[in-house]
Amino acid sequence: MNWLTNYVRPRLRALVERRRVEVPENLWHQCPACERMIFHRDLDANRRVCPHCDHHFRVGPEFRFREFFGEAYEELELPRVPVDPLRFRDLKRYTDRLKEAQSRTGAHDAIRAAAGTLGSSPAVVAVMDFAFMGGSMGRAVGEGFVAAAREAVRRRAAFVVVTASGGARMQEGALSLVQMARTTAAVQEVKEAGLPYVVVLTDPTTGGVTASFAMLGDVHLAEPRALIGFAGRRVIEQTIRERLPEGFQTAEYLRDHGMVDMVVHRFDLPATLARLLDLFMRPRAEAPAAPEPAGEDGGRALPPPAPEQDLEVLDEAADD
């Protein structure tokens, strides 16, 4: 039981204790980066970014939906799955932990999804909630992700996922690991439908989520200084017996080494996403528009258009 008492129990305790700090009763928040105090209204007005040091606080699904869609979005009903297949119990029953997380966050599990218009493109956005059991991926998150991906295909919409996860949900054992394969297959369905799949990596994105759908995007955006990795820094150092470079596993480090395309400030995220989706979606949206017959040929059947004409049509479309 050494592994459980030495490793699992402290981790669980740390999770629970951190949660307590995250939901303070008072009106002031302490920035975990610069340790200065911020009045809660100032923090909200600044989109939960520290006005002193630019630290991006963790935010939940509702915040993201409003940022991306404004008020006009439709939250998707995600499938319910049978809970606690292994009847898992550590310090508490898994079912009790779930109930506690559900009552605290008001969500069914660690993922929520909504559909709407992002910029000028139809989009389905799935957002993970780190406040729900560390954003861990069990069957509910896997099923939710698959359902959201399929809804994007059904609506011919772009699929955007905002990740935040400690990895697989250990209380579901191998069933949580299977979700890595399931979500990967769902990403493939989106790609086969010719629709864009964009990942927004936020602090922290680790473990089985990094090892599956979080790294399969057509484009990877990340919030500044977000922790993104598979295993923890200490575990890697102990395994390879080497010191890791400064800034290892941050968004900026991964961008400099090719795993992240852009590090985007939270203020710029909606506009950046809108621009990207517009680039991905526009040619497809305009392709079916038949070229208008030029001249006064009346009902005469038009000869097949010459290649130059095709180009002109594309030029006109691009000017719109």
- Alpha helices, DSSP H, located in 1-118: 2-3, 9-22, 40-45, 61-69, 94-105
Q: How far is the CB of 162 from Zn ion (least distance, A)?
A: 22
C-beta closer to Zn ion: residue 35 or 242? 35
C-beta closer to Zn ion: residue 31 or 140? 31
Burial class of residue 161 (count of CB atoms within 10 Å of its CB; 0-12, 13-18, 19+): buried
Closest by Cα among 247, 107, 122 to 164? 107
Is residue 37 close enough to count as binding Zn ion by CB under 5 A? Answer: no
Closest by Cα among 127, 137, 160 to 207? 137
Closest by Cα among 237, 244, 274, 301 to 118? 274
C-beta closer to Zn ion: residue 49 or 146? 49
C-beta closer to Zn ion: residue 56 or 220? 56
Q: Which of 29, 48, 49, 50 binds Zn ion (CB under 5 A)?
A: 50
DSSP codes joined into one string, 168-183: B-GGGTHHHHHHHHHH
Closest by Cα among 279, 294, 300, 291 to 121? 279
CA count, 13 A, side-chain hemisphere, 215:
18
Taking contact as CB under 5 A, which single stretch among the options 29-37, 107-115, 263-271, 274-282 is the one that binds Zn ion?
29-37
Residue with the two structure tokens 């979606």 = 281
- Cα 64 from Cα 246, distance rounded (Å): 30
Q: Which of 55, 97, 112, 139 binds Zn ion (CB under 5 A)?
A: 55
Is residue 33 close enough to count as binding Zn ion by CB under 5 A? Answer: yes
Q: How far is the CB of 252 from Zn ion (least distance, A)?
A: 17
Is residue 49 close enough to count as binding Zn ion by CB under 5 A? Answer: no
* 24: preceding bond cis by omega (within 30 degrees): no
Is residue 34 close enough to count as binding Zn ion by CB under 5 A? Answer: yes
C-beta closer to Zn ion: residue 38 or 126? 38
Q: How far is the CB of 166 from Zn ion (least distance, A)?
A: 23
Is residue 31 close enough to count as binding Zn ion by CB under 5 A? Answer: yes
Taking contact as CB under 5 A, which single stretch among the options 50-58, 71-79, 170-178, 280-288 is the one that binds Zn ion?
50-58
Q: How far is the CB of 34 from Zn ion (least distance, A)?
A: 3
What residues from 126 to 145 belong to the interface with Zn ion (CB under 5 A)?
Answer: none
- Structure tokens that stand for 10 in this block: 């402290």
Instruction: Point out which residues bind Zn ion (CB under 5 A).
Output: 31, 33-34, 50, 52-53, 55
